[in-house]
Every structure is written in structure tokens, then in C-alpha cells.
Structure 1
């Protein structure tokens, strides 16, 4: 880059590439770590912090010592060929494989290295098992690394890695001895929550050597040295360095780009023998890297800008021939300006003869600056150019033609790319490619329906992958002239996706409208009736849902195998939801393992759904086994985004069975991730989190979690029951009635006993508390009539509990004590320890009413001890206070797992709220700081006032300051929260 003109007419010196500054410690750590081979080094840092520079400086030192390293980079554009970054690293590291003397395993590499076909062993026999084929491919790569004597494999930007690459990394680190050392760079904030990358470190063998590096920003002195190295070693004033540091926060790339912009604008001056900035009012350094880059780009010759635009459109490394074709410039104009574009510091030679942006931020900034028309034209030229390659990159072609608006080519290449992904086991990329096409390109209705049917929504990351698909389908309905059958097919897909998204009633309406015009006996018709059979949404009799299921066309051999499998899985789920024993026979038809990744996704969902229903029926061993099968399938076939659903179902089961250790942390991870975890899974996790908080005594937080959980149709009944129980403990009978009134018609009136396990006792208790014994008896009778003699242990235990509640309310105390005891035994047999202990508490209280004090007090003391050991400290403390009030000997309550109860002391959260209150913040401001609702803060302030025996906020602030309590906030451990 040439020197700019000084404002006084002189010339600025040309800027040099910055020297390696401020990273000596990290470089030494990296070197020390890799002296102990093999090692795994994870370099985590924000964009522009210098991860790549650190790696390259280290690799240069290794080359001097004769240690061979291979380097690959993961691109933001996810490609559908297996191990893309590893393939590039190997390809760049070896010219040919003639001298490697590979075994027969090497033949497995033929599809990935067609240019080596003449020198590789013959292709091995095809394997039907995708997992076995992938394992063989991994072993072939390991053999290549061994023959090349590779000491280190370095992969950059692993947050963009495809699933197969991440699985290969896990394969490498799990082998003994580990074949090579690994260095992986990534940005943690861009790693999906369910990515195997986050589990890589936790699953390393015990003897593995793991080092984590997180380069930080430069300080002011390092910023001065960094800038000086670009200005030929000239002195940089402290004021100038501090100014740049403040504007860039010490991020090296931001410092470099800002300095280059100031150099281009001649905003640097020589002063007192060194470099400084002009007065602040005469210089405006853009506050973001993006602004700095774009201003630099705008100063280039228009043809040079076009070259940069082409590089941004291509996104990855490209040679001169491809770049020129995408620019559309005549050869002489391209040659005249390419040097300026390639020499301005934004691009680098990624590999010999191929250029790309030095940093993804620069690529993104330049791409966003291209006008819409020019961008579409460039994507079209890119597509036409890449089509002519001997091995066309179909995923890139799909992207280019999609963004060019050429729907026919986009569909063709997307289909091909998605199928290649499925063949390699990468369901996530397959779903992403299909989703991107459907969401952005207007398609004929028939093609649209076919592609939407292929999308595995569970494989897509993000909290809402549905809206864009629904909009595309509705646009086809309103904008295309369709025959009745075509309209019905599109409308059925609208309804199906709406139901998957949780909009149950809207989805049902669309499916009901579509059903008359769907082809009789077709898979669409069968699926429509099965979906209508699911007892979701508003109240309907179970008999109505069963009728839909009975009217569904039978499965026939004329149906595609995937359709038959999907329908059989969905039918089993519907039967179990409706409480039909036949559902278990249908569930036994679901295979334990399958080879086709598309079948694996259906079967994994099937086992998860059956596991959920087994939990509701009280078949906890079956539930555990089904969830384990689902997890195994999801991990084996890299169905990463299915793991959240399995995890939330597992958490629900663990709540019931008393496996509470670590459960709060597991559910918090799911609930708080509103970008990567589906609403359904977040709601189920929130339900469990709320139940845990209620048991620990944090009732306001529990209510907030439970209200959120009620946002999902499948959790709303149990969430309402849990909320009602919390309200009853607080003495708020009207609220408990209101919560259960809304759903009584669905559960009780509709005969949906599979959803009555938690609901029926809550509803009966609320009615009894209101003095409405007749309606309470109706609830019990309805549950008994719907349940019959079915082999459903949890609902049967719930029925016994309901009878006990009714007997106690009716004054039949002896009967109630016996029934509560029977309910406890039934819960214990599942096992369901928390409910068993609460039932024993009720039995003990009945004994006390009968005058059997010794037996009642003894039982209560034992229950309190067991509740504390379980982690239900609020209940244990409540019983302890009752026993103390009776004046008897109270068994000391040991603190076991779970959160503590605080009695009349402020909890850590209440202390935090009071500290903020004492600093003058309003409830709304405190809520914003703590990221909760103002209602929760108001409740916590009220609780603190009650505990401190004051009647105003001001008095509360004074009391806690005088008492020195605010200082306790930093002394309490966060785990207490």
C-alpha cells in the first residue's frame, strides 16, 4: 500500500504489517503445551483478537524445528462434504500420495480426493451402516496423518465446523495413543449450545493434556508498540495510543484497521519526533471495525472495489480466474486493479494462488455494502463459473443460485447437496440447506411441499425455525393458482408446521380445511388424521381423538418406507397420549437402531416421545431406557439439536425419581438459552426448575418459571397444577381454583387421564379448600372411570391420593390416614420419593388428628429428615417448625442436596435486591439489572420487609444497612441461589 499525503504536503510512510505484539505469554504457553505430545489446545477469543496470528507465529517456529503441521480453516458457509476443513488441510499439505504406501483403508478417501484416484487403493466395499462407513473414513485419515509424519493438526474457526469434522476431532482425542496434537481456534459466543465442540474437552481421556488459551485485548503500552511496528518503528505518543485503545478496546484487528483508515485520510501527524493524532475535533475514527473497513473500501478505485465485492460473494478462498469471472470485468481492467485490491491489507493468500479475506468481519462488512442488484448478478456469475468445475461444489452452487434468485438451479443443487449431507450423516446441514432455500426463494407449490416434507425441524438450531416456512407456504396458497388437491397439500403442511411450532388450534384448523381434498389413502391423509388425534389444544373428548386415529388409512407397502416408519411412530405416540394400552404394542415396533440417518431422526424422536409418555404412565424404567436409546441414536448420527429435547425429558424424569443432584444447573442451561433451545424444551426445563424452586421455598421465582412453562401445550396442564399447589400453600384458594378451572374440561371432562396425574390432586385439593366437596368428588369419580384398571402406576397412585384428599375433607380421618399411606407406598414403588414423602406427611397429620400423637410425630420427624436429604428444604423446615410448635423433641434436620431454606433470614437473592434498593433503584430498575420481572422483585421486597419487620422500603434499606446485612451478599456463595 502506498504512502498517503500529509496535510502539509509531505508523504506518510507506507504502513507495514503489524508485528507480533503482546502475545509472548500465550506463545510460550502454546509451545510448552505442545512439547508434551500429544496435546489438545483450545484457543478461544472474540473476532479480531489475534487467534490466527498467534497460531501462525507458533507454526512458523515449529517449521523451523522440522515438525510437520497441517492447517485447515472452517468456513462460515457450511459445505456438505465430510470433513471439509480436514480435507483442505491434507490437500494443502501433500502434493500426491504415491509414496505414502497406504493400506486398503486409503480407498475410502477416493470420494474426497478424486484428484488422487490413480494413486489411491481401490475403493473398499460399500457399507450400509453410515456409522461404520464414517469410522472407516476416520481411520483412513489417521493413516494418512501417520504416513505424513504429522505432529500437529490445527483447525481454525471451529465454531463453523460441520458435524463430521467435530466427530473426527472426538475420534482423534479418544484414540490411544492420540495420533496427533490438536490446536483449535474458535469463538465461544458463536458455538451453538448443543455443539459437540463444547463437550470435546469434557470427554477427553484422563491422560490427555488439555490447555485452554483466551487471548485478551492489548493494553495501552502494547497498543503503542503495535502501532509503532506499522509505522516503521516510529515513536507513538502516549495520548495517541490511549486514544486508539479507547476507540478499539485494544482488539488488534480494530487497532490495525483504524490506523489504516487514518493513514488513508492523512490524519496522522509527526509531532516531537513521533507519531500522533490531530486534534480530536478534526478526526473521527469510526467506532467499529466495520465502519473502518468500509471507509477504506470506499477510497479504492471502483474496479478494485469490485474485486473485493467478488471475494466477499465467493466467501472462501478463490483463484484469480474465478475472481475475475465473478467481477464481470474485462481481463485488462481486472489485471490493472487486482493488485490494489489484493494489496490493501483486507485480503490474504489463504493458500498458494488463492485469496480470501483475512478476517470474516471484513468479508461480512464488504458483502453487506454491495447493492442488491450487483450482489444478485455476482452470485449468478459465481454459480455459472463454479458449475464448470470438474467437481462442482454443490452446496456453494445451491447458495449462489439461491441468492441470485434462480429457483430452478437453486432447487436442483440444494436437493443434491442435502442428499449428500444425509449420506454423510450430517442431518443438520441438510436441514439448513433446505430451510434456507424454502425461506428465501419463491417456489412452485409442488416443489415447496416436497422440500418442506424433507426438512427435519429438530435438526435445525435456533428457537424459531418455523415462521419463515409457514410464511412461504401461505404465500404459495395466496399467490399461486392451485387445484383443490394442490391447495390441500400446501395447507396440510401449513397446519403440520403450525402444530410442530406449538400453535395447536391454528394448525388443527388448517388440517381440517385441507383434509377433504387430500388424496384418500395417501400418507398425507394418514398423517393428517394422526395429528388430529393428538390430544393437544382445546378440550375435546378422548373418544373424538380416538376416532381420528381409527379413521386413518392403514399402512401399506405402497407407501415409501420413511412414510411408513414416520406414521407408525406417530401413531404409537398418539395412542399412548390417549391412554390406550395398544400404544405399548405399537411402541415395541419402533426399531432400536437404524442405518439411514433420515430413519434415525424419526426413530430418535419416537423413542423420546415414548419416553415422555412412559414417564406420565409411571413406567420409569421404560422411560429411562427409551431416552437412553434416543440419546445414543442422536449422538451416533450427529443429530445434535435433538439432544436438548432428550435432556429436557430426562430432567423431567429425574425430578420425579428424586435424582435432583445437579438438576437445577441442567435445567437452567436449557431455560436460559433462548437462541439455541426450542421453546418446547425450554418450557419443559422451566417446569422442572419451577418445581425445584417451589420445593426449596423460592415461591415467587417458582411461579415465574411455572408460568413460562405453561406457554407450551404439552406442559401447561402440569405447570398449572404445580402453580395451583404453590397457591394453596400460600392460602390463595381463589387463584388455585382459577388456574385449574381453565383446564378441568380438558383433563376431567375429556377423560384425558394420562394428563391427570398431577392435575387431579391439585384440582381436588383446590375444590376441597373452597368447600366444594361435590365437585371434588366428581373429579375423583371421573378419573376413576377414565382410568379403569389400566396398568398405569402413576395415575393409579394419583387416584389413591385423590381419594385420600376427599376422605380427609369428608371427616373420615382414619380412612384418609390409610389412603395417604397407600398413596405413599404407590409413589415409592415407582419410585417417586418427593410425592411419597408428602403423602406420608399427610398421613402423619391425620394420625395426629386421631389423637395418635406418638405415631404421628415420629412419622413427621422421619419425613422431615428424608425431605431434607432429598433437597426439599422448604417442606422439611415447615415440618420442623410444626414439630417445634408441638413442644416435642425435634430431630435435627440434616442439610443434604439441593438449595437451603432461609427461614426468617434474607436469602442471597433478597440481599441482592435489598442492596440495589438501598442504592436508590426502583423495582423496575432492579428487575432490569437482575433480568427478572418487576412482579418478582416486588414479592422479594415484600418478603424482605416481612422478615426484617418493617413496613416501608426506606425502613428496609435503613435496617439492612444498620445491621450490616448488605455486606453478606459477597460472602454467600452463588450456589446457594
Structure 2
């Protein structure tokens, strides 16, 4: 099919687009779903595969039903504005209305003011900003959901959802989860662009299981050779395309429709395919060069155009969304405010004619690239200076638009090299993100700002103050951001006040990341720079009052609390800030073991309407529940923790809700209630966002494995890892409890030396800080290990210090542990009667909590020593059993002689099988035998009766 001779040859200049081919089955599925209301349609596939084309075809098919359709796309901007595509959708929906007038909006709609400043006069007053991201997002999402319902939207199409901000994804997830679903949703995305932790994965997993919603998920693949031939034919007046030519193109374009389309257009531009005497001809295949990428194809096509058309194409690529001829002309440098410029109109017409630009649906008069890949190819192919100039012109035009497109302005000023104005609009975008509860986006924007070398020193501290410290928990760049804050401090250019603000914010970040020790160091360094005092300063003081922050004794923490009170008195505080400081004070007192803290505890809140206040009530309920658990006031703990789950769940405060749920699991474990604890603990240990929450869940998961004897030799390794992480972070409760659990395993294995070593630093910490309310789990196992080694005087001193440290506190858990320590000491002295009574009192104390595992252990020891008392009376003097069997070992051996297995012995004595195994091992060692049978024989001979 060469060009031949004797005929008139002309190049084709038509821009006919190809038909939709090879997608008949997918199109039928989507259109049938959209005809049924509501529907959830997800179309996924790689770039250029035809997702948008499929959706457009489906919408044209269902257009006859009169459904109200909104179609928006998520732009690939670095500074993507929170809920930007959703805001665009709302503006589309009200384009035919007079703003929002006439809609029956609730007070919730006041949350929308930052997003729709042009309608502020018709919206309710803005509510008070929320510090908690989850609560703010929850409130905003509810407002948008209400608004969509009032606007009568029937089909919402959101394209390129892989570029959506987190709050947009949360809104879509909320809409998809509502029953009944309010309207049909159509989403397109590229799987390769989706992050592993993206909410989009949760959204796409919601498809099955709801009969009232039509669910369709379409994955588009590459075209076959046959479909390739059909697509090429549709671009060549439906002329026949040979199998060889189709196979040739398929091999070089991998069957991706957009690449095929651009390559065919390029071949027509080159005259690789020509029309001769009414028939399409092509060169020999070996003479045709097909670009390996769409970028190469588009760049070659653009190079064949005149300078004006190239300027218009670059303008369209710079803008990144469909625009009218006048805007494209101004951004391209071909027009100004006064002159629409015929040159711009002609250039746009040429770009449309050759198929690089296409008109938007609905006759809007706006044009844009058919696909983002083509736009990117044009952008990358332009000179850097031309790109900067186009961005500068785009920013100048958009600054005059009302309302100002903040994210677009930040984007253009940055790429234009105008850093000062980029900073202005980026900060405004961060402010919108903060108000909307998109704290991760706000943190990203603020992080970028403080990293800007040209930013004046005096501008840094206000930006740092805005950084939402809770967002650092799951922020991928948190290490880099923390280093940036430290760099700001080390630069030495901040005033004392600003230095205190930055250091205080760094301390808050570290505290929320669970690194309490490092946080305390930063707060302490900030104190000399504090002036008259601000809310943040007072907040920092209340944090320093917490007993696990810093190495100080209780008296020092109480002084921090007094200082916080003085700072707060000198501040002008908002109501929710005052409530926050009150909750912090109450928490500090309870954690310090101060009875006065209980006087500050109020009844769990019900029906709290103000979100900011609700967040503090949820936090208060969580903290009181956690403290009540530590004190051993379990009924109060359950009441407050359940309240925390309820309030946090109702207000979208997910972090507090999950913390309360994990703490409730801990309470269930201690009290012997609840089922499926292991599965729940394991799930939270893997999935909870908060690092301390994950750590606590990991500890509980391991403790449950110890009880179930399901962890094997890895249990001690797991406990060691948890202990070291808890110690490093300063999470004292986790450190002490994991050390106690590990020490019990060592003691059960007759390795008392290791048990003492594991508890050494823990008990020293408790003594140095005078925090004996923390000794509930660690003191009994330490005293038992000391007694097993014959270090009776040291065990007695520990018990005395424990008793004096508790004083008259009403701390039932610590008092039960103290009673168990006394019982262990009586046992070690061989005082059968006193040991029986002490163990009985310990069993009763544990039962009142209740702690059934500890109660059973104490009751078993009480019964053992009661039998010993009846048999031999009181034996004087301290004992170290040496090579003689201890009473507990004797009891195990007695049941062994009755033919019972380890598990049966464990059940009868209310001990764990591992403890029974360790006691039998110890008995065999003392009798010089290596088997259960030999032990039974030698004991029977020694005591045949």
C-alpha cells in the first residue's frame, strides 16, 4: 500500500475521534446499573485505557431519563484544596439557581462558609472551629451530604479519584455507606496510583452486600488485535484495516486506546497513512516509526504546529482543566483583558481541529486536552522559561476571579517562581484544610512552607503554631517534619516568644507520637522562654504534670500543675480551651494517685451538642476510665470508657473511640469477661493509627497468648520487644506490665534471678517517683522472685515501701497486690497459718475487683497453706527450700501421683499449664530424675502412704 504513482495524494486533516470499541460488555453493565437508582459504579484501569470515554458513553445512554448529573475531576495539584472536587460539584449544581437561597439548610451548613464565601450571606453562622480533625471532618461531611440531598443530585461522577484529598474520599465513603444511598456514584481511578493506606481501597471494597444498591466494578484492560483494527478503522472512515497493520500497531502501543489514537493521528500528520482516490493507503510497515510512548507521539505532533497553536496548547496544559478561548489566549500570551484576540481563537480552533484539544460536554464553550497524558507531554516538552511565564500569566488572571481558586493560585505561583505569593495562598489553603478537618493536608502544606529557605524568621512561628500535632501520628514525612522544627530552633533566629512556641509545638508532636521522654525535654527547655503565658504554655505545663513525663517525683509534677494554673489565670481562654485545661488537670491528679482528682470527675456526658465541647467530654471519659482501671475501680472504668466510645463515635473522633475500645478490652481481660479478645487485640495491634494504642493492644495480645499458652518460645521475645518500646517511649503502664508478665514467665521456669533482674529498674522507677499506685502488676512477682532466692529482707523492704507509698488511698487494685505481697512473705517464712490467712485475704481482695485469675491463684495458695497448717502447725524461722519441695511443688506432685495430666493439674489448682510444667521440672531437678515416671516412683517410695 505504498503511495504509488499517477494518483492525486492528499493528507487527511480531519479530527474524527475513534468509536468506543472493545467495551460493549462493560458499557452494558454500567448503563444498566445507572438506569436503576441508586448505583455504585467503579471504573478502574491504567492511564489512557478509556475510563473517561466509557463513563461519557454511559451517561449519554442514560441522558434520556433526565437524571441530574454532576461530573467533576480531581486535579493532580501538589496543593490540592480540601474537598476541591466536591466544591466544584456543588457550584455546578447551583449554577442554574440563585446561590443557595430557598434551600432549607440546617445550622450544620454554617460549616460550609470557608468553601463557599460567595454564598456567605445565605449560609448560617460558622460554628466554632474544632481542634480534633475527626470531629471537624465528621461535621463537614454531614453538611455536604445534607446539601447534596437538598440540591436533588441523582448521579455524581468523580474522575481520577486516586488524586482526591482525604476528606473527599471520606465523603464518598460516607455517601456509599449510607442506607439508602442518596444517589448514584460513578468513580474512576488508576490502581497503580493508589497508596496502600488510601481510603479509596476501603471505598472500592464496599461493593458487595447491599441488595438495594446496584453495584458494578469494571476493570478495563488493553484492546485485542481485533479491537485495535476496529478502532483504527473508525478513525479512517471505517475503511478496512489489515490484520498485519493492526498487529503492527497493537505490538507497538500495547493495545492502549489513547496511545493508539495519538499514533494514528501522528501517522496522518506525517502522511504515513494517506487517502488516494477515495481509498486509505499506508507506507510499508518497515517504513513506519511508531513512538514508544504517548509523550513522544504528542510532542512530535505539537512540533508540526505554528507558534500560536503551541502557545494555546501550553496554556491548556498549564491550566490543567477545560477553559474558554479567551482564558487560553491570555494564559498563552495571545490576548489581554480588552482584546479577545482573533489569533487566540484561530489557534484554539486549530488545536481542536487536529484533535489535541476537545470541547467539553454540554456546549459550555470550554476546551481542554482529551487526556492528562497528552497535557503532560505538552507541558514537559515546553521550555522551562515558557512554562514559568504561562504560570505567571495564569496566576495573574485567576487572582481577579471571585471566589479566588486558592489551590490553583498556590500551584501557579509556585511553578512561576513567585515564592512570596505562593506562601500566601498555600497558607490560606492550609487554613481551609484545618477548618475542614483535613489535618494531613494542612500539615503537608505547612511543612512545605517552613521548609522554604526564603521565608522570614518571624513568619515561621505562626505557621508552626498552626501545625496540627495530632496529624503527625500517621504522617509519612513526620521524621522530616520533626527535623525541620529542630532546624528552625537551631538556626537561632527566633525571638524568645517564638522559640517557646516552636519548642512547645515540637513537644506536643513528640508527646502525641508517644515519645513522652523527648516531649518532656522540649517542654522543660521551653519554660525559660515563656512570657506572660498563652494557652499552649498552660497546656504544656499540664503535660509536664503527668507522672510518666519526666524523671521527677510526685511533688515536682504537682508543682508543674500549680504553674499551669497560674499560666491559665493570665490567659484569655476560649471555653473549649478552658475545658481542655480542666480535663488535663483532672487527668494529671488521677494519674499521680491524688485522691483530689476524683472530686473533679463529673458524670459521663449525654447529648452534648457542641462538637468541640463533645471532644473534650470524650477525652475526659477516656482518661477517667483509664485512671479508674489503674486504680482498680473497674465498675467506674467501664461506665466512663463506654461513654467515651459513645461520645467519640457520635462526633467522629476516631482516635479517642479506638483508645477507649482497646482500654475496654484490657478491662475485659482483667475481669475475665468478654469473648474473642485475642482476635480484637490482634486487629488493633496491627491497624490502630495511634502508636501507643497499637503498643497497648500488642501487649494485651501477648498476655492473652501467655494465658492460652499459644505463643511458644516467641512469647518472651515479644514481651521483651514491647517492654523496650514502652520504656523508650515513656509509656510507663506498658513498660511495667510487660516486664511483670515476662518476669512471671521466668519465675515459672524456676529462673528467679532473671525475674529479679527484669523487675529491678521498674521498681526503682516506682520508688524514685513515689508512684506506688503503679506497683499493682510488678510488685507481687518481684517479691516472689526475691523470696525464691532467699532475699527475704529485701522482699520485706519492698512490701513496707509499697504499703507506705499507698498510704490511705482508695486504690483497690494496688491494695489487693499489696496483700498478695504480704502473703508471699508469710509463705516464704514457712508460717502456714499466717500464710493461709494472708492468701485468703488476697483472694478476697482480688474477688472484689473482680480479678478472677488472681483470685483463683490466691485461693489455691490459701487452700494449700490451710492444709499445711492443719498438718504441722506453725513452723518457725525463714525457709529456703533448697533441695526440698516447696508446698506448691508438693501439691503438684501429689496430683501427679493420682495420674492427672499437667492440664488437669492446672485446672484443679487454678494455675496455668506452663506453671505446673515448671514446678514439675523443678521437682525432678531436686530429686535428680529426668522423667515424670521416675519422679512418681521416687516420691512414692519416700512416702508410700
In structure 1, the residue corresponding to 2:531 is in which secondary structure?
coil
TM-aligned CA distance change 1:242 to 1:283, over 3 Å: closer
TM-aligned CA distance change 1:296 to 1:884, over 3 Å: farther
The superposition leaves residues 139-195 of structure 1 with CA deviations (integer Å, 9 ceiling, x where unpaired) of 4432321xxxx5433334556556765676577567776543334445788478595
TM-aligned CA distance change 1:216 to 1:293, over 3 Å: closer
TM-aligned CA distance change 1:81 to 1:298, over 3 Å: closer
For 1:217 and 1:828, how far apart are their aligned partners in 2?
65
- Is it true that 1:694 corresponds to 2:698 in the alignment? no
TM-aligned CA distance change 1:476 to 1:132, over 3 Å: closer
1:844 deviates by 2.5
- Is it true that 1:755 corresponds to 2:774 in the alignment? yes
- Is it true that 1:475 corresponds to 2:487 in the alignment? yes
The superposition leaves residues 239-262 of structure 1 with CA deviations (integer Å, 9 ceiling, x where unpaired) of 9699959x97x8x57976997899
Alignment partner for residue 788 of structure 1, among 798, 804, 807?
807
Name the counterpart of 1:513.
525
Contact kept, 8 Å, 2:39 with 2:185, in 1: the verdict is yes
Name the counterpart of 1:228.
229
For 2:650 and 2:801, how far apart are their aligned partners in 1?
45
1:859-874 matched pairs, under 5 angstroms: none
1:217-296 matched pairs, under 5 angstroms: 217=221, 222-232=223-233, 234=241, 252=256, 292-296=293-297
Name the counterpart of 2:879.
none
In structure 2, the residue corresponding to 1:154 is in which secondary structure?
strand
Alignment partner for residue 585 of structure 2, among 556, 568, 571?
571
Name the counterpart of 1:722.
741
Name the counterpart of 2:626.
612
The superposition leaves residues 774-820 of structure 1 with CA deviations (integer Å, 9 ceiling, x where unpaired) of 43444433333222332333333333343444444444456556555
In structure 1, the residue corresponding to 2:821 is in which secondary structure?
helix
TM-aligned CA distance change 1:95 to 1:383, over 3 Å: closer
In structure 2, the residue corresponding to 1:155 is in which secondary structure?
strand
Aligned length: 841
For 2:330 and 2:49, how far apart are their aligned partners in 1?
34
Name the counterpart of 1:123.
122
Show structure 1 runs of 5+ residues with no match. Answer: 4-8, 287-291, 854-878, 896-900, 904-977
The two structures, once aligned, show a CA RMSD in angstroms of: 5.6
Name the counterpart of 1:70.
70
Name the counterpart of 2:921.
none
The superposition leaves residues 88-124 of structure 1 with CA deviations (integer Å, 9 ceiling, x where unpaired) of 335446751379995544996996997997xx9x836
Higher RCO (Cα < 8 Å, 6 or more apart): 2
Name the counterpart of 1:953.
none
Contact kept, 8 Å, 1:69 with 1:153, in 2: the verdict is yes
- Is it true that 1:713 corresponds to 2:730 in the alignment? yes
1:15 deviates by 10
1:733-882 matched pairs, under 5 angstroms: 733-812=752-831, 819=838, 822-823=841-842, 826-827=845-846, 829-832=848-851, 836-841=852-857, 843-844=859-860, 847-848=863-864
TM-aligned CA distance change 1:371 to 1:177, over 3 Å: same
Bigger mean CA deviation after superposition, 80-89 or 781-790: 80-89
In structure 1, the residue corresponding to 2:219 is in which secondary structure?
coil
For 2:859 and 2:415, how far apart are their aligned partners in 1?
68
Larger radius of gyration: 2
The superposition leaves residues 664-708 of structure 1 with CA deviations (integer Å, 9 ceiling, x where unpaired) of 4444444445xx934333323322332233333214454454445
Name the counterpart of 1:155.
158
Name the counterpart of 2:219.
215
TM-score normalised over the length of structure 2: 0.72
For 2:531 and 2:211, how far apart are their aligned partners in 1?
61
TM-aligned CA distance change 1:505 to 1:883, over 3 Å: same
1:608 deviates by 3.9
In structure 1, the residue corresponding to 2:859 is in which secondary structure?
helix
- Is it true that 1:682 corresponds to 2:698 in the alignment? no
Contact kept, 8 Å, 1:224 with 1:241, in 2: the verdict is no
1:746 deviates by 1.8
For 1:887 and 1:457, how far apart are their aligned partners in 2?
62
1:392 deviates by 0.3
Alignment partner for residue 602 of structure 2, among 588, 601, 624?
588
1:580 deviates by 2.0
TM-aligned CA distance change 1:285 to 1:212, over 3 Å: same
Name the counterpart of 2:873.
none
For 2:68 and 2:199, how far apart are their aligned partners in 1?
29
Alignment partner for residue 487 of structure 1, among 488, 499, 504?
499
Contact kept, 8 Å, 2:12 with 2:269, in 1: the verdict is no
Bigger mean CA deviation after superposition, 739-748 or 107-116: 107-116
In structure 1, the residue corresponding to 2:69 is in which secondary structure?
strand
For 2:244 and 2:914, how far apart are their aligned partners in 1?
57
- Is it true that 1:498 corresponds to 2:510 in the alignment? yes
In structure 1, the residue corresponding to 2:899 is in which secondary structure?
coil
TM-aligned CA distance change 1:811 to 1:326, over 3 Å: farther
In structure 1, the residue corresponding to 2:71 is in which secondary structure?
strand
For 2:453 and 2:622, how far apart are their aligned partners in 1?
33
1:424 deviates by 5.1
